[in-house]
Structures are given as structure tokens and as C-alpha cells.
Amino acid sequence: PQGIGSPSVYHAVIVIFLEFFAWGLLTAPTLVVLHETFPKHTFLMNGLIQGVKGLLSFLSAPLIGALSDVWGRKSFLLLTVFFTCAPIPLMKISPWWYFAVISVSGVFAVTFSVVFAYVADITQEHERSMAYGLVSATFAASLVTSPAIGAYLGRVYGDSLVVVLATAIALLDICFILVAVPESLPEKMRPASWGAPISWEQADPFASLKKVGQDSIVLLICITVFLSYLPEAGQYSSFFLYLRQIMGFSSESVTAFIAVLGILSIIAQTIVLSLLMRSIGNKNTILLGLGFQILQLAWYGFGSEPWMMWAAGAVAAMSSITFPAVSALVSRTADADQQGVVQGMITGIRGLCNGLGPALYGFIFYIFHVELNEIPMPESPSGGSVVAQYHLQQNSIIPGPPFLFGACSVLLALLVALFIPEHTNLNVRSSTWKKHCGSHGHPHSPQAPGEAKEPLLQDTNV
């Protein structure tokens, strides 16, 4: 078979690292090009671009996952990486086409879905969570290092070199998939013809969401996830632009912020999360994470000085424990044959938030007239930006209105989470789902429906 060696988690890790390392290099140049392309309504246009991409990813992820069950993983790894990285060279060729292709590329920007399915093919069930953790840690590691490298190269050699380097790394990733990545789905488990039917019911992105109201406990968990992840998705789409253009952070400060936040989040989701789960329990860990998220969003909303952003960033790292704790609660309380169903619901809600959150944040920035009145002035010799009067005077009391909206949303999530029992068996009436899986599903698929659809991460280019 094509590829080097047997299928392994390390093949998936290299694919993820190269893709997001290429995009991480472009963090600082993208912020500059975004403002130069849309000098008016910058935040609104950013929200619309990321929102369209997120919604398209939400709609296409189940279909691509179902197709990869039939036709194999390697071809779809190649397809998703190619289209995800296709906009990179357009940054210097045509910024308008660059942002247009980014929004449309959401149809195929679901590399994580295929990668997690690839990992599920080659690991036993007891190994899978550790393998997913390795892939997730690789994603975080690529974003910890690459923005700083891109900012340094852009300052010394210019942004054109950064774009060329990112394009070269994306091409390297595509070549690696073509040459080195073996197919994880055995040939005997794939149909002989590419015209083999797939289950369109399984490809329905709303299929998992339709079951949300069938159990009160599931409904509470899903409402909590929606209200807490909606502001988080919007924040990811606009926060670094906010730091750069509104708070006056330099490119180096933004990349340092990303690195520190990434490292602290990794520590919080491993060591701190483990200690909290053992000491205060699952539900209390969720409540604590939501409390930290309310604090950091309120701090972002009222903060007017750079040191406030740094302090709130440390709190934001602690808030990252919420979703792993929710996943653990679902895993512990759901029946073994309903894990995929319930995890699929949560994943579907997060995917929906990835589309709605950025658009909502951009719209709120627009409503409150948080706009850039001037192009950012050159950086001072001390390394900080010379901050001009960026937003209107009436908004000086609340520099970041969307973050305060997010804090209110998470407060509602906290109130809903109070009603989630600590120990309860989830009872999702999934007889139709099971019947569908028995008649239309593929017996070779090692994961339950929805299990391999980005259980911990969404495919974003933060």
C-alpha cells in the first residue's frame, strides 16, 4: 500500500503540525492585511468571513466524514489540507480573493474531523483518548511557536517572505500526505466502486441536534455548551485583531500573548484539570471553569490597559478546563452505546457556535461603533505601538462590548449548569439512530456516529 510504514498516530500528528504551523506564521501579516483591505467596518467584515467559514464547516463536516468512511481517509486528508491552505499564497497576490477563498474554504476546512477518524481507525478504544490528546497537544504546540517566528521574519525580511515560507510548508504537508501517509481504512472494508452509496442521514449536520430535547439532562448540558462556547468562538475570531488595533499591542506582543496563553492552557487542561477533577468533582470543575470564563470576558470588556489584557489572559487559560470537564461528565454518565450520540450532539453545537460566534461579535462591534478611525501608526523604538484614537469617545467606558455580552451569556450557562446532576445516567432515546446505524452504517467503522467529529477542538485558524 502507498505510504511509508504502517498507519500510525505520528502520521496524523505531522499532518496537523505542518498545516497549523503554516497558518500560525501568518498571524501577524493577516491582521495587517485585514485592516488594510477593510479599513471601515474591519471587525464586521472579519466576523462575516469567519462566520461563513464556520457555518460551511459545520454543514460539510458530517458529509466529509461519511464519505471518508466509504472512500478512505488519505484522499480526504489531501483534499482538506489542500483547500484549507489554498488561500495562503493569495495574501500577497490579491487580498480580496484571499478573504473570499478563506470563507469558501470552510466547506473543506475540516481536517480535524478526518484526522480523528484516521486515529480512530488505527487505535484501540482504551488508547484513543491518549492519541486524541497527542493530536490536540500538537495543534497547540504549532500555534505556540509559529506566530512568533512569523512576526520576527516579517519584521526583519518582510511579510512576502513569511507568505512564501507558509506556502512552502503547506506544499510540504501535501507532499507528505501523498508520499508518506498510508491509508488507515483497509481495502477490504471499502467498497469496490466510488459510486457506492453513503448514508445521507449520517451526513445530516442537524441529525445530532434533533435529539437534544429528548432528555432533560442532555438538554441542560447542551444549553450550557452553547451559551459558553458561543462567546468563546467569537472571541477567537476577533481577539488578536482587537489587541493589535484597539489596545495597541505590537506584533511581538500579540505573538507573545498567543504563546503564553497556549502554554498556560496546556498546563490548565492537563495538570490543573486532573487535580480539580479529583479534589472537587466533575460538576464543580465545570462551574469553576465557567466562573473563570465570566471573569476573563468581563476583564476583556472593561480593560483599557495592556497589562489588564495579560492578566485576563491568564484567567482565560484557566477557563479552558470547562469543555474537557463537560466531555468527561458526558463520558462518565452516558451509557456505553450512547457515547457517540451524546458527544455528537455537543460537537454539533460547538460547530454551530463556530459559525454564529464570529458573526455575532462582528455585528456587536459594528452596532457599538467600535471602528478604527486611523490606520495604526508605526511602532515606537521601544517596541510598543503608538496608540491613536481608535474608537469613538462614547465607547471609552466599555472598550469591548462583545466581551461583556459574552460574559452575560456565560453567566446564563453557569445558572443552567447548576441544575446538572453530578451522577445521572443519560437516557437518549436513540432507537432510530441505532436502527439507522444497523441498516446503513458501515460495520468497519470503529467509532460511533459523531465520536470522531472534533471532540475537543474545532478547526480554527486562531
Give dist(CA 317, CA 323) in Å, integer.
Answer: 12
As a whole number, mean pLDDT of residues 304-308 equals: 81
pTM summary value: 0.71
Assigned domain for 448 exists: no
Mean of pLDDT values over 284-310: 88
Cell of 74: 488519505
pLDDT exceeds cutoff 70 at 459 = no
- Domain final position from 184, 217, 251: 184
In this prediction, residue 117 has a pLDDT band, given cuts at 50, 70 and 90, of confident
pLDDT tens digit sequence for 329-338: 776 666 654 5
pLDDT tens string 178-206? 888 887 776 555 554 455 556 666 667 77
Residue 165 has pLDDT above 90, yes or no: yes
* Burial category of 342 from C-beta neighbours within 10 Å (exposed 0-12, middle 13-18, buried 19 and up): buried
Report pLDDT digits (tens) over 20-32.
899 989 888 888 8
SS (H, E, C) 335-369: CHHHHHHHHHHHHHHHHHHHHHHHHHHHHHHHHCC
Q: Does the residue 62 lie in any domain?
A: yes
Q: Is residue 242 assigned to a domain? A: yes
Residue 318 shares a structural domain with residue 407: yes
The answer on 216 and 180 residing in a single domain is no
Residue 450 has pLDDT above 80, yes or no: no
246 and 150 housed in the same domain: no
Q: For the chain, what's the residue count?
A: 462
Range of lowest pLDDT (128-132, 303-307, 395-399): 395-399
Q: What's the confidence (pLDDT) of residue 435?
A: 41
Considering the domain boundaries, does residue 353 fall inside one?
A: yes
Half-sphere exposure of 436 (CA within 13 A, CB side): 16
* Residue 116 scores a pLDDT above 90: no
pLDDT at residue 371, as a whole number: 60
Same domain, 345 and 410: yes
Q: Could you report how far apart the first and last alpha carbons of the chain are, in Å?
A: 35
Higher pLDDT, 372 or 389: 372
CATH number at residue 343: 1.20.1250.20
Domain match, 275 and 236 both: yes
Q: Verify that 174 and 320 share a domain, yes or no.
A: no
| pLDDT, averaged across the chain | 76
C-alpha cell at 21: 504551523
Domain count for the chain: 2
Q: Which grid cell sits at 306? A: 495592556
On whether residue 137 sits in a domain, the answer given is yes
Q: What is the pLDDT of residue 175?
A: 93
Residues 288 and 156 in one domain: no
Q: Express each pLDDT in 390-441 by its tens digit.
A: 443 344 456 678 888 999 999 999 999 999 887 655 555 444 444 444 334 4
Residues 153 and 239 grouped into a single domain:
no
What pLDDT digit, counting tens, does each position of 227-269 carry?
A: 998 998 888 777 887 887 777 788 788 888 888 888 888 788 7
- Residue 295, pLDDT score: 93
Residue 43 near residue 204 (C-beta atoms within 8 A)? no
Say yes or no to pLDDT of 316 above 70: yes
More confident residue, 285 or 342: 285
In a domain, 189, yes or no: no
Q: Using CA atoms in the order 145, 147, 148, 153, what is the torsion angle rounded to 10 degrees?
A: 120
Out of 137-151, 312-326, 374-388, least confident range: 374-388
The residue range of the domain holding 272 is 209-371+400-421
